[in-house]
Amino acid sequence: MTAVQKFSIYNGKLQRALLDPLFTGPLWWALAKSPESVKGALVPVLTSVLSEEKVPKVAKALQWLFILGLVAKANRFLSDLALNHWRLSANKKEWVWDREVAVLTGGCSGIGLLVAHGLQQKGIKVAILDIQPLPKELKGYKNVKYWKCDVTKPEEIVATAREIKQIWWAPSILINNAGIGAPHHIIDIDHSSLTKIFGVNIMSHFTTVKEFLPDMLKKNKGHIVEVASLASFVSIAGITDYSATKAGVLAFSEGLNQELRHRYKSNGVVVTTVHPGWTATPLVTTYDEAIKKHSGDLLKPETVADQIVQQILSCRGAQLVIPRELSVSSAARGWTNWLQEFLRDTQKGVTAV
């Protein structure tokens, strides 16, 4: 694990503790506002590690941390509202899981396979679109059906959508999970590979949304999940094409959310964008050792899949950065250029080819 990654994770955990008003509030109250009997028991403990004149300063620091924690909670609350069209309610009563259909692209391996498992366990009908055959782990479930579908071909998506609606009914959940990528440099990539990665990783999202969103709009109910990456925020050498597609997924999600709110006035259809870090999936099999060497242990696909499933079950839209401690990456675009370049430089050996 790199020094930058260790610092980011440690810093994230420390911030979460220090900015938790449920942690800092009682401590500040005990030092500054509590009865003398409480102070009398607490101050000697502090003076055993601090000089007595520093105790008021600690109380003041806790007061500010408490205030900042409240501000942070308010910020998260407002962000949640904004990503859900300013709706307080999740309208969970409208969602009856054994009556919902989810379309999942790339559901035959990796994160997608685990998402399919999680959804079908809740009784949700799962329509898997993939060019890989259905794995044995998903065979035998009556609420899981497989369509061999090349998502880079709009006509196949249209035909598959028609069959799904005939067999079941119009889906209320769409998970654009299919993704491909391999390390190579810009000059070396051939045009067919470039066309394919953009076709799978971003162009297919336009086609699936065009096909399934209209029925969601009619009912004013739906959840669209866009699987992006931390590469949405930070592009590095060797995977420029992949990073470009994932930055495109982020832009697509943001624009889609705006259109839902302002063009269609549909506050019942929400969007979740998922930004996992390096994850142990078939996508990175050829260079997973290099990733471990330069960036540390990979995320378990179960970790990512579980958060996706839980977000769907919450009936709320969100921006998920996984792990949460690396949320600082989303702010990278606002950093000064030398800090951005330093961050990218720490990853220079990950995709060396």
What does the pLDDT read at residue 1? 44
Say what percent of the chain tops pLDDT 90: 59
**In this structure, what token pair is assigned to residue 94?**
């409208």
Which residue type sits at 4? V
Which residues are designated catalytic? 242, 246
The predicted-structure confidence for 165-179, as pLDDT tens digits, reads as follows 999 999 999 999 999
- Distance in angstroms (rounded) separating the CA atoms of residues 294 and 315: 37
Q: Which domains does the chain have, with CATH numbers?
A: 3-82 (no CATH), 94-345 (3.40.50.720)
Of the listed ranges 68-77, 208-217, 286-295, the one predicted with least confidence: 286-295
Q: Can you point out the beta strands (E) in 149-194?
A: 173-176
Given CA atoms 213, 215, 220, 226 in this order, what sign does their dihedral have?
negative
What does the pLDDT read at residue 11? 57
- Distance in angstroms (rounded) separating the CA atoms of residues 2 and 259: 40
The helix (H) or strand (E) run that includes residue 121 is: helix 110-121
The predicted-structure confidence for 231-244, as pLDDT tens digits, reads as follows 999 888 888 999 99
Average pLDDT of span 324-343:
83
**In this structure, what token pair is assigned to residue 95?**
């969602």
- Distance in angstroms (rounded) separating the CA atoms of residues 267 and 86: 8
Nearest CA among 209, 322, 206 for reference residue 269: 209
Task: Tell me the whole-structure pTM to 2 decimals.
Answer: 0.87
